[in-house]
Structure 1
Amino acid sequence: MRVSDFFDRGWRLAPAATAFVMDDRRFSYAEAGELSCRIAQTLLDHGFDRGSKVAVLSPNDPLAMICVLGLWRAGCTWVPLNAANPAADTINLISRFDCELVLFHSSQRPLIEELLAADTSVRKAVCFDEDLTAWLEDRPATDPEPPHLPEDVVAIMPTGGTTGPSKGAMITHRSISVAFAHMLMAFHYPEGDPIVNLAAAPLTHTAGFLSMPTLARGGTVVLLAKPAPDVLADAIEQHRVTELFLPPTVIYRLLELPGLAERDLSSLRYLLYGAAPMSTAKLRRALEVFGPVLMGGYGQVEAFASISYLRPEEHFVDGRIGPDERLSSVGRPFPLIKVRIFDEKGHECGPGEAGEICVQGDLVMAGYYRNEEATASTIVDGWLRTGDVGHLDHEGFLHITDRKKDVIISGGFNVYPAEVEKVLLSHSAVQDCAVVGAPHPDWGEAVTAVVELVPGSTVDGDELIALCRAELGPVRSPKKIDFLDTLPRSPAGKVLRRKIRAPYWTGMKQKI
């Protein structure tokens, strides 16, 4: 399978049906498909073919996704760029990933001018919402179907850089096809039922790829510029949305939307959450508000978005919302991969024993672009070492304790930030939080929490520390609570722990 074959299946099923909607713009499958074919023909005529790196720089826009379909048809490699990233970071990625062409939205023109003045490999930049028609000329709307191999790289995905400089994970036709197969297994629809995917998160991240299984079924993808809570609720009602992906932070904000209980959200069948840990307390509330539609997901760019999933019905036990032990899991592994837990010596751990989560199968990336050292340390003996610490329980549910690099060593004891954050997030006044290690002369690192409050709520640090001590004891509890109006996050919504940690380590050798 080529990646574009998934879209083409929907095109054959319903050529006149609506593939993409954004505001007052609509593209049928035939319109989107034919335009993507013309883009592919143009790319090939200009010498951008198998393996050429093509970046797309745009906010959420249907034309951006159609451009991606076009470059896939030509055999090119997509480099996703998030328009919310700083200009310097974007130019750095374009340079490091050897991009030859940039297809961009007119809102990004100042950055493109800066890019073209820099010393990079970019040969051309085309503004797709202003200059695309002229660039395409009268090229035919037929799929060129150049030769391809399953191992050809279809995307170089930036790893996000939440713990350091972003690497480029090489995703192949084979690996992304496995991810799409997993998603098609997870989202069940009776024959003939409407399927409407709401792409509210950036298309350059999980939302873009999650839209492809929808398109393979002939469904409709509705795009939003930003996931503001009121806009989300409006879109679900207006378009009768059946599925969407949101990071936990956005779900927390949606739960605080005034009048949410009066909204008609009954069309929702799947509200997928992931990309960061979710508070079990807030997950319980979400299940009460939205009903049995929540689906947890765990994945990485390196094993794209589909290592395990917690099905909607698995959030419940004997007809009631399940205990924290179930809700804190990320579900069972998907069928087309192997998941094992290995200790520091490489021995497989038994049920309940913590170690590093490792993944094997066709889902795993081909490696990091031009970074053999990082590839060799990440894929060992055929196993992707995720860097996540966790365990499998006796029922086969996977639990993530924390990132290996985030473990705090305080007085010789390992403290996992996620377990402290879980307790903090159980307080009704806490919107989000991050726990880091700050330098301490006696303990090495002191457990320190940085908290973002629910708008209009108040709580003091002593109360939160007391809550943690009651649940976790003195060793794992924060020694200090700091408050921020807004936690620093990546464009994908992940809390940037390194930015939170950095001020505490200024002038010292920082733990990275």
Structure 2
Amino acid sequence: MSLAHLLVRQARHDPGRAAILHGDALHATYGQWAARSAGLALRLRQAGLAPGDRVILFMRNHPRYLELMWAAWWAGLVIVPVNAKLHPSEVEWIIGNAGARWAFVTADVAPAPLAGLAHQIDVDSPQASEWLAPHPRPFDVDVAERAPDDVAWLFYTSGTTGRPKGVMITQRNLMTMGMGYFVDVDAVAPGDAIAYAAPMSHGAGIYAIPHVMAGARHVVPASGGVDPAELFALGARVGPLSMFAAPTIVNRLVDHAENGGLAEADAARAFKTIVYGGAPMYVADMQRALRVMGPRFVQIYGQGETPMTGTVLPRQALSDTGHPRFLERLASVGRAQTPVWIRVGDEQGRELPAGEVGEVLVKGDSVMAGYWQNEAATAAAIRDGWLFTGDLGFLDEDGFLTLKDRSKDLIISGGSNIYPREVEEALLNAPGVAEVAVVGAPDPEWGEIVVAFVVPEPDHPARPEALDQHCLGCIARFKRPKRYVFVERLPKNNYGKVVKTTLRAQLDDSSAPA
């Protein structure tokens, strides 16, 4: 069984059903999609590629991304999805590490040849159209047989603390994620529409799998990215959209609705379900999102090592405002998804009681096979079948997981543990604060001190004295920041996560404003 069989199944059943849209224009029916993917799969085989070979996708979001993904799986190949914002030298390192000789690119992200490749094809070129020419009898092209534990998706981590690691995601991992989506995240009907606004090189791209399973439509915005006005208008035209979004994207959608005076009914016409995750979603932000756009949100927690599959906070929990622990649940990432076990453990992985903070461990058929050509890292990350995520959190008596921080972000000041997210939650409710990120800085007396990087509201600037008083009213004295650094913006990666390594580096610069 291969992921390619999902497309074959839908194309046999209803070849004329709309499948891929570019904006609101039809790009391919399911039959056309299968014919193009089968044609490319056959030509790649004829060019010498064999099952298990790696193919790079270094592209902006593009309707051909989906055709390339399923062509690679049809041929038994391994997809190496690459962040479109990486520097060419970073991409070339991935090419060499993965041993990839072929790449499909868009010219805006790869205007020059990348070293190490035998073939680099611009997906907007006439050459690409020849490679993707539809096969007249696509079902005569055999789908390469793949075992459940064969690698399908070689995903490279962000590499913020060194060279990225290649996460080996198998056919079984992705099938598990796809089927779990229907049970835990959202129901999908034939003809529903998923929009790819977040990068298709990450979680948004593999969410195509459950939507192919259901025979849904796949919508790539004409802009290829996140334009709130475009997404609201597109949803109103093609039907309410489902999509995956980092919290920063959710906030931009809410800003657009709120500042544009849009009602909840406008949000309902544009969006069916917005699945959010990938970075902290603060309670105040989700409360505003629910107030402005209504109950169309679902939170998931996972990692590249257990893609999109860890915990889920469903829309029912997000809407249950009468529950006595509603705010605590809103601050959580929900309960374990059906295909996995979640445990909070100590350094040896031994299970901790409810309420006690430890490392979050995940076990199940979604967990990666390991890191590509890195046995030491694999052995450190997976022990006795449990994935040690590096995230710190606790489970309550009902099994809801609340994350505190990454273990590397924990601040130990005067022997006491301080979780940056708790301080950030407090500061975000202070007048004059638009955004905030908290890190630890070395200190000879305390070991570390708490430093808050604050983006002030433009017309209501915050002052350190006022922020101090605010913190003293809602968190313990020892947790409050010892220093405030006011900045115009926070450094973020392509997925909306604040890059705290950059903030820590700024603290070494004596010219940083205080």
TM normalised by structure 1 equals 0.92
Q: In structure 1, how many angstroms separate the alpha carbons of the residues matched to 2:274 and 2:132? A: 38
Tell me if structure 2 keeps the 8 A contact 1:271–1:295: yes
- Unaligned ranges ≥5, structure 1: 508-512
State the secondary structure of the residue aligned to 2:268.
coil
Task: Using the TM superposition, name which of 309-318 and 391-400 deviates more.
Answer: 309-318
Q: In structure 2, how many angstroms separate the alpha carbons of the residues matched to 1:260 and 1:367? A: 48
The equivalences for 1:468-487 within 5 A come to: 468-487=471-490
Q: In structure 2, how many angstroms separate the alpha carbons of the residues matched to 1:456 and 1:196? A: 39
Tell me if structure 1 keeps the 8 A contact 2:35–2:135: no
The equivalences for 1:49-448 within 5 A come to: 49-111=50-112, 113=113, 115=114, 118=115, 120=116, 122-130=117-125, 131-135=127-131, 141-142=138-139, 143-189=141-187, 194-224=191-221, 225-257=224-256, 258-262=259-263, 264-267=266-269, 268-317=271-320, 319=322, 323-427=326-430, 429-448=432-451
Tell me if structure 2 keeps the 8 A contact 1:316–1:322: no
Tell me if structure 2 keeps the 8 A contact 1:461–1:482: no
Task: Using the TM superposition, name which of 53-62 and 1-10 deviates more.
Answer: 1-10
The equivalences for 1:448-463 within 5 A come to: 448-453=451-456, 457-463=460-466
State the secondary structure of the residue aligned to 1:482.
strand
- The Cα shift of 1:319 comes to 4.7
Tell me if structure 1 keeps the 8 A contact 2:412–2:448: yes
State the secondary structure of the residue aligned to 2:39.
helix
Q: In structure 1, how many angstroms separate the alpha carbons of the residues matched to 2:165 and 2:333? A: 25
Q: In structure 2, how many angstroms separate the alpha carbons of the residues matched to 1:412 and 1:490? A: 32
Q: In structure 1, how many angstroms separate the alpha carbons of the residues matched to 2:172 and 2:504? A: 38
Tell me if structure 1 keeps the 8 A contact 2:203–2:308: yes
Classify 1:17/1:464 alpha carbon distance in 2 versus 1 (closer, same or farther; 3 Å): farther
- The Cα shift of 1:104 comes to 1.3
Q: In structure 1, how many angstroms separate the alpha carbons of the residues matched to 2:470 and 2:317? A: 29
1:130-149 per-residue CA deviation (whole Å, 9 max, x = no partner) reads 11233457865343212211
Q: In structure 2, how many angstroms separate the alpha carbons of the residues matched to 1:453 and 1:59? A: 32
Match of 1:18 in 2: 18
RMSD over equivalenced CA pairs, Å: 2.2
Across the two proteins, how many residue pairs are aligned to each other? Answer: 500
State the secondary structure of the residue aligned to 2:474.
helix
- The Cα shift of 1:320 comes to 6.8
Q: In structure 1, how many angstroms separate the alpha carbons of the residues matched to 2:147 and 2:452? A: 48
Q: In structure 2, how many angstroms separate the alpha carbons of the residues matched to 1:321 and 1:226? A: 39
Q: Which residue identity lines up with residue 95 of structure 2 in the other structure?
A: I
Tell me if structure 1 keeps the 8 A contact 2:394–2:401: yes
Q: In structure 2, how many angstroms separate the alpha carbons of the residues matched to 1:453 and 1:237? A: 34
Q: Which residue identity lines up with residue 381 of structure 1 in the other structure?
A: D
Q: Among the aligned pairs, what percent are the same residue?
A: 33
State the secondary structure of the residue aligned to 1:106.
coil
1:225-259 per-residue CA deviation (whole Å, 9 max, x = no partner) reads 12122222222222222411111111122222221
Tell me if structure 2 keeps the 8 A contact 1:9–1:218: no
1:301-334 per-residue CA deviation (whole Å, 9 max, x = no partner) reads 0011110100101113365796321101111101
Q: Which residue identity lines up with residue 349 of structure 1 in the other structure?
A: L
Q: In structure 1, how many angstroms separate the alpha carbons of the residues matched to 2:133 and 2:393? A: 54
- The Cα shift of 1:42 comes to 0.9
1:16-63 per-residue CA deviation (whole Å, 9 max, x = no partner) reads 122111134521111111101111101111111211110011110011
Q: In structure 1, how many angstroms separate the alpha carbons of the residues matched to 2:293 and 2:8? A: 33
Classify 1:137/1:22 alpha carbon distance in 2 versus 1 (closer, same or farther; 3 Å): closer
Q: In structure 2, how many angstroms separate the alpha carbons of the residues matched to 1:304 and 1:191? A: 23
Tell me if structure 1 keeps the 8 A contact 2:54–2:79: yes
State the secondary structure of the residue aligned to 1:296.
strand
1:70-127 per-residue CA deviation (whole Å, 9 max, x = no partner) reads 011111110001222222222222222211110112333424x2x1xx3x3x221122
Q: In structure 1, how many angstroms separate the alpha carbons of the residues matched to 2:132 and 2:20? A: 21
Tell me if structure 1 keeps the 8 A contact 2:346–2:358: yes
Tell me if structure 1 keeps the 8 A contact 2:359–2:391: yes
State the secondary structure of the residue aligned to 1:464.
helix
